[in-house]
Structure 1
Amino acid sequence: MRNPIKIDNTYIGEGFSPYIIAEMSGNHNGDINRAKELIKQAKQAGASAVKMQTYTANTMTIDCDKADFQIDGGLWDGKNLYQLYEWAHTPWDWHQALFSYANNLDITLFSSPFDETAVDFLESLNAPAYKIASFELVDHPLIAKVAKTKKPMILSTGMATYDEIAEAIQVAKDNGNEELIVLHCISGYPTPIAESNLSTITKLKQDFGVQVGLSDHTLGTTAAVAATALGATVIEKHFTLKRADGGPDAAFSLEPNELQQLCSTTKDAWLSLGQANYELKKAESANLQFRRSIYVVEDIKKGEAFNERNIRRIRPGFGLAPKHYESIIGAIAEQDIAKGTPMQWELVNKPGQTED
């Protein structure tokens, strides 16, 4: 079992219920009060943390209309990159107020930085953890900068090859950070459920020996529950107040009641895993009596032989186990036995038998 990782006062690992991150992204729609309401609703739904994104349009790209910078197709068709990030970013002068608000509600708030200036800014706010977004997984200088904070790091793997994931993890470790959680991710917005490839969660655990979770862009909560059953210790899901309100990520985000369902069902999925063993479970113990066992079904006189008419394998389970049936057939009754008596070895006049 991999060592647990602690963010604020919450442990993350295989021995703990899934750590649920509600990704705010740009779903605040430019309104700090809506951002606060998202944090409040995430807390009420049972999320472990809220995550935002720390960048400006200028730290992400340049304002340029050349073809390289245009978005063709998808949710953001027709915008250039600068316009998208200008629309979706969370203003830096909101951050302090949002961190304070989350702290007062007792829910963790952290962020994805997108360049080194964002890391320095978040460090000034004492951010408890960092997320490396899928698109930044190949930005080794950024990963190194975050790793040096020694804070827990969550790395998303959308679009990444095996080598790119391995390199990112190694950069983090080379810069002194072993507190790593890797999220399986498909960077489709939304991702078709058939392209989720959740079996990769098992492979990531095997290949890299780190905590593994899911950054989920599918619609609904099915993939998250399945991922939990595969051992995901973190589930990240985009979150909005109401999809009809619009917003950069609204189309593939959960509403509050759906986030509450996600928190509940993933915890239940985790609880259902239990421990691998063959011991009798508490819920089963009362039903042992309803198993089959061997019973006398006709009155039998002492000295009479047991046969297929006077003993049967029936419910309840207070007699000898059915596996002894053939051994008893043809044996002699040690005493008179009334119909409805559970079969026991002391009723059988046949040397060499022992109780089982």
Structure 2
Amino acid sequence: MFRKDVLDESPFVIAEVGQNHQGDLDIAREYIRIYAFEGADAIKFQTRNNRYLFSEDAYAAGYDSENAFAETYGAHREKLELKPEWLPILKADCEKHGVKFMSTPFDEPSLEILQQIDVDLLKVASFDLGNLPFLNRIAKLGKPVVMSIGGGKIEQIRSSVEVVLKHHDQFAILHCVSEYPCEYNRLGLDNIEVLIKEFPDCIIGSSDHFNGTLSGPIAYMKGARVFEKHVTLNRAWKGTDHSFALEPDGFRKFVRDIKRVRAMMPQKPADEIGNERVFKKLGKSIIAYSDIRVGEELTLDKLSGRIFNTHYIPVRESNKVLGKTVKRDIAKGEPIQYSDFG
């Protein structure tokens, strides 16, 4: 899937739900239905075992935020988690709607659960870039892996890539800036070309937290082929990731415009240039700007253009008639024809 000879020039677009499902199974299932329809290739969630992931102090820490779902951070996170028994339901929904089921494991117990349900794709969050023991456990499963590199130094990226590639080459590296949201002038999309040069055998992509759609087509032009974009059903919902995520229509346009880029690049066939419908209808033909006598030379001050129902010499071909000597008298306003100086 993520080998260059397989993906080729085709974009692969991931709708990142994250925890924007608000900890509600019905909402999570609605994300799958809607974003599969809007063009996603994979629907991605996040999987955590918060008791394992956080220390007791970090779990019990107070959380005072307008986006808090509970008074402590651990309880807040638990409100937003998908229950393990829901994951097979979501995977089945993805199969039903023709998209890949994808999730980010944030810890080893979560990775084990995703392995048990036979997740289609695994995502490595920027937080785990350089976490070589965990990356090794992820790659050993043999599932296609997508890794974001937000906040990563090149030596951290290199060592992470090396660990994954020891196991398999179903691997995509996503340029990412770990700012939420990320302003347009902080996207740094030139780094995609740097990654392509550094890792020529890997698929390179883009994961961005920009609240618009233009980043997708530009990233494609830079060489990205895998795209991850946060999605929401309502930007006004409570939560840290809703405000910069794309709603369904925005995501539809994001996918559409990425896929259009390839078709925008080839030049128009030469034999079609100048034969467009608008020129056939409204194209000007060369006329005499003033009376021209037999034997006179056609010069710039003797010619003009006019629209006729019948086409004569197009004005854009005036370079072909300048300097020619006419064989007949041509009245002012009369069209010039090649036979007049053949």
Normalising by structure 2, report the TM-score.
0.80
Alignment of 1:109-258 (within 5 A): 109-175=101-167, 177-209=168-200, 210-247=202-239, 249-258=241-250
CA 1:61–1:259: 2 relative to 1, 3 Å? same
- Pairwise CA distance, 1:29: 1.8
Question: CA offsets per residue over residues 30-69 of structure 1, 9 Å max, x none?
Answer: 22112111212212333222101122113422222499x8
Whole-angstrom distance in 2 between the partners of 1:280 and 1:126: 52
Normalising by structure 1, report the TM-score.
0.78
Where does structure 2 lack aligned partners over 5 or more consecutive residues? none
- Which of the residues 277, 300, 322 maps onto 2:318? 322
Q: Tell me the residue number matched to 2:17.
A: 24
Whole-angstrom distance in 2 between the partners of 1:86 and 1:186: 26
Question: CA offsets per residue over residues 188-220 of structure 1, 9 Å max, x none?
Answer: 222223222222223222332232222121223
* Residue 92, structure 1, aligned to residue 84, structure 2: yes
Q: Which moved more, 1:109-118 or 1:44-53?
A: 109-118
Q: Tell me the residue number matched to 1:50.
A: 43
* Residue 264, structure 1, aligned to residue 256, structure 2: yes
CA 1:139–1:81: 2 relative to 1, 3 Å? farther
Q: Is the 8 A contact 1:64 1:80 kept in 2?
A: no
Q: Is the 8 A contact 1:75 1:189 kept in 2?
A: no
1:52 aligns to what SS in structure 2? strand
Whole-angstrom distance in 1 between the partners of 2:121 and 2:151: 23
Whole-angstrom distance in 2 between the partners of 1:50 and 1:291: 51
Q: Is the 8 A contact 1:137 1:156 kept in 2?
A: yes
Q: Tell me the residue number matched to 1:354.
A: none
Whole-angstrom distance in 1 between the partners of 2:234 and 2:301: 70
CA 1:173–1:293: 2 relative to 1, 3 Å? farther
Q: Which amino acid counterpart does residue 275 of structure 2 have in structure 1?
A: S
Question: CA offsets per residue over residues 241-298 of structure 1, 9 Å max, x none?
Answer: 2233323533333333333333334334x255323x4644868631555677754444
Please, what is the CA RMSD of the aligned residues?
3.6
* Residue 285, structure 1, aligned to residue 279, structure 2: no
1:64 aligns to what SS in structure 2? helix
CA 1:257–1:170: 2 relative to 1, 3 Å? same
* Residue 341, structure 1, aligned to residue 332, structure 2: no
* Residue 33, structure 1, aligned to residue 29, structure 2: no
* Residue 274, structure 1, aligned to residue 270, structure 2: no
Q: Is the 8 A contact 2:50 2:59 kept in 1?
A: no
Whole-angstrom distance in 1 between the partners of 2:273 and 2:143: 42
- Pairwise CA distance, 1:165: 1.6
- Pairwise CA distance, 1:325: 5.4
CA 1:76–1:141: 2 relative to 1, 3 Å? farther
Whole-angstrom distance in 2 between the partners of 1:302 and 1:76: 90
Identical counterparts, % of pairs: 26
CA 1:305–1:55: 2 relative to 1, 3 Å? closer
Whole-angstrom distance in 1 between the partners of 2:272 and 2:140: 48
Q: Which amino acid counterpart does residue 285 of structure 1 have in structure 2?
A: N
Whole-angstrom distance in 2 between the partners of 1:119 and 1:79: 28
**Aligned residue-pair number:** 333
Whole-angstrom distance in 2 between the partners of 1:200 and 1:37: 35
Where does structure 1 lack aligned partners over 5 or more consecutive residues? 7-11, 350-356
Q: Which moved more, 1:200-209 or 1:309-318?
A: 309-318
Whole-angstrom distance in 1 between the partners of 2:334 and 2:69: 78
- Pairwise CA distance, 1:133: 0.8
Q: Tell me the residue number matched to 2:97.
A: 105
Whole-angstrom distance in 2 between the partners of 1:78 and 1:304: 92
Whole-angstrom distance in 2 between the partners of 1:92 and 1:127: 12
CA 1:61–1:342: 2 relative to 1, 3 Å? farther
CA 1:105–1:66: 2 relative to 1, 3 Å? closer
CA 1:89–1:206: 2 relative to 1, 3 Å? same
Q: Tell me the residue number matched to 1:9.
A: none
Whole-angstrom distance in 2 between the partners of 1:149 and 1:284: 57
Whole-angstrom distance in 1 between the partners of 2:131 and 2:289: 78
- Which of the residues 297, 302, 307 maps onto 1:310? 302
